[in-house]
Amino acid sequence: MRRALLIVVALGFALGLSYPYLGLDPGDSRIEVPGGLQYAVLVTHIFAAAVALVLGPLQLLRQTKGRRHRTLGRVYLLAGVLPAAVAAVPVALWSGRLLTQVGLITAAVLWLVTGGLAYRAARRRDFAAHRAWMLRNYALTFLAVTARVLVPFLLLVRIPFGGADPARVPELIPIGQTLGWIVNLALVELFIVRRTARSRTRPPPLPPPP
């Protein structure tokens, strides 16, 4: 049930994020960029991030095993994470906001590093480490969702202090972008630690009857 919900959320956000760019019209862009190279890099980042967002939870399905899992994982990394992370760097630099530049570039680097470590662990057949690194990697992918949830939340938090002005949303976006991946990684790390602790305390399986 939780996996199905994650897939639905990922698919919904992926469609919502990429829809304004399907016509490849710079005038429809939600981020103010000129046409040409900058718009092409932005579109690459958004479409590749949408691919990673959708393919990530599909790897958790029981039907995705063996060769399917390996193929889906390679597409996730090579067609999703890699181009999205590389394109995120110039997109962040073009924003002109220091917090966006530092936050998104850090997230992009961690995105690439965790993806590389997950791939290396799989090649070494260390599947426990592979799962842990992939969870961390998808936590960074899920920034696309968390950041867009945090921004209205941060706006609501300001209501008791009389500062919930929708015009201040652009100021909160860099904060939501940075907090998004930090919160995601913290939650995933807590999940990994707890799961590891449970597996260590679990009694070994009984030997088969003679």
DSSP assignment of 127-170 equals: HHHHHHHHHHHHHHHTHHHHHHHHHHHHHHHTGGGT---GGGHH
> What's the pLDDT at 203?
57
Cβ atoms < 10 Å from Cβ of 56? 24
What's the chain's average pLDDT? 87
pTM above 0.75, yes or no: yes
Whole-number CA gyration radius for the chain:
19
Residue 131 pLDDT greater than 60, yes or no: yes
pLDDT tens string 37-93: 999 999 999 999 999 999 999 887 767 778 888 999 999 999 999 999 999 999 999
Question: Smallest Cα–Cα separation from 127: which of 69, 206, 200, 204?
Answer: 69
Least confident residue range of 43-52, 120-129, 171-180: 171-180
Closest CA to 79 of 104, 108, 106, 54: 54
